[in-house]
Amino acid sequence: MIPIRRNASASARFESAVPQQPTPDSVPDAAPEPVSVPDTSATPTGSQGAVVAEAAYVSRETPTREEDDPPLAMEAMRAVQILNPSGEVTMPRPERTRVMCVANQKGGVGKTTTTVNLAVALALHGNRVLVVDLDPQGNASTGLNVPHHTGVPDVYDCLINSVPLEEVAQGVEGIPNLWCVPATIDLAGAEIELVSVVARESRLSRAIDAYPGHFDYVFIDCPPSLGLLTVNALVAAQEVLIPIQCEYYALEGLNQLINNINLVRQHLNPKLDVSTILLTMYDRRTRLADAVEQDVRNHFGDKVLQAVIPRNVRVSEAPSYGQSVMTYDPGSRGATSYFEAAQEIAERGVKEPVGRNA
């Protein structure tokens, strides 16, 4: 039995990891206790032992391979898949034009973001797409980098002055298959002016029907209200896409929206159907988001897309550059999620063609 000598370097290295025994200097009148030592023939001693111990010790702060960021190669592959530089038709085109109204009277649930990114995703993959900005704020026009200042021909002229849609639609720069009908602040007064107009609920429907060209998809971005502009969109569309934020308030007003859709179906547009529900702003860190998702899926069933849009800062940054997230950061989680949602919508359109002639 012999007392162990402290190795200074090993002691300093493992001082924070190994609890220290009190020393004779720290405890008055205490004698060092002898400690038995294992067989040194089988265990390295001195500096060799310190090296072996150092190699065996791994800090909990050391990142594992699973915790590392995704490889750049994988992100680049996703970006190429989303941007589709070859221009091939990789998403199926519907037999007839699908006119989809993106509606929810609650603001801030992602209507405009969903409209812009789905339209860009479908256009990048071979579909001809028209976006009708029916919100006086003009955010969809901003997201597509389409001029919508005062004096620019816009959807107001189509609704009030019966200007043909083809004279108002503008091509989106950098995306050959995408057009946008912009909205200016003039649209804010359209609801009052439409009150005295004959057949005011079907003004937009007739403008779309009279368009001479063919589109695979027409997306109508609605304002956060249930006024005449939204009614015009519901009458013009065959399908309603409802983005639902994964929070309680988003569910609260859903019944009122469904009731209005049913009224429009009964009196103005019997072909109208809620075909698609998209969950947006999903935060996987919270139980609330999971609870809202389960409630929505239990109520609407197969109408809810499997793709869920997460909270992603890239999605919020893109409009400030006049882009969608699909072109701003195609390798991001937000772009990948919207791409998957667009692919799902395209595949559903082929299985269940809707009835509006080109």
The per-residue pLDDT for 255 is 86
* Backbone torsions φ then ψ of 276, nearest 5 degrees: -140, 135
Could you list the residue range(s) of the whole structural domain that residue 234 is in? 73-351
Dihedral of CA atoms 176, 104, 251, 291 in degrees, nearest 10, equals: 0
The reply to whether 320 falls in a domain is: yes
Average pLDDT over residues 141-153: 91
Residue 334 has pLDDT above 60, yes or no: yes
What pLDDT does residue 81 have?
Answer: 81
Q: What are phi and psi of 304, to 5 degrees?
A: -80, 125
Domain for residue 197, yes or no? yes
DSSP string, 302-351: GGB-S--PBP-HHHHHGGGGT--HHHH-TTSHHHHHHHHHHHHHHHHHHH
End-to-end CA distance of the chain: 96
Q: Distance (Å, rounded) from C-alpha 10 to C-alpha 231?
A: 77
pLDDT category of residue 12 using cuts at 50, 70 and 90: very low
In a domain, 85, yes or no: yes
Rounded to whole angstroms, how far apart are CA atoms 214 and 231? 24
Most confident of 184-188, 236-240, 251-255: 236-240
- 261-283 pLDDT, tens digit per residue, is 999 999 999 999 999 999 999 99
Residue 358 maps to a domain: no
pTM (two decimals): 0.77
Which range has the worst mean pLDDT, 216-225, 249-258, 267-276? 249-258
Q: Determine, yes or no, domain membership for 61.
A: no
Quote the pLDDT of residue 235.
96
Residue 224 to residue 230: CA distance in whole angstroms: 8
Inter-residue contact 255 to 266 (CB < 8 Å): no
Confidence of residue 48 (pLDDT cuts 50, 70, 90): low
Structure tokens at 39: 């067989």
pLDDT in tens, 77-101: 888 888 888 778 889 999 999 999 9
Let me know if residue 86 belongs to a domain.
yes
Residue 33 banded pLDDT, cuts 50, 70, 90:
low
**Mean predicted confidence (pLDDT) in 3-8:** 49
Say if residue 315's pLDDT is above 50. Answer: yes
User: Residue 87 has what pLDDT?
Assistant: 75
> Which residue did the predictor score with more confidence, 4 or 71?
71
**pLDDT class of 140 with cuts at 50, 70, 90:** very high
Task: Report the domain count for the chain.
Answer: 1
Structural element, H or E, at residue 220: strand 217-221
SS3 call for 70: coil
Q: Does residue 310 lie within any of the structural domains?
A: yes
Is a pLDDT exceeding 70 seen at residue 31? no
Q: What is the dihedral of CA 323, 326, 331, 332, to 10 degrees?
A: 80
Residue 67 has pLDDT above 70, yes or no: no
CATH of the domain at 339: 3.40.50.300
In a domain, 111, yes or no: yes
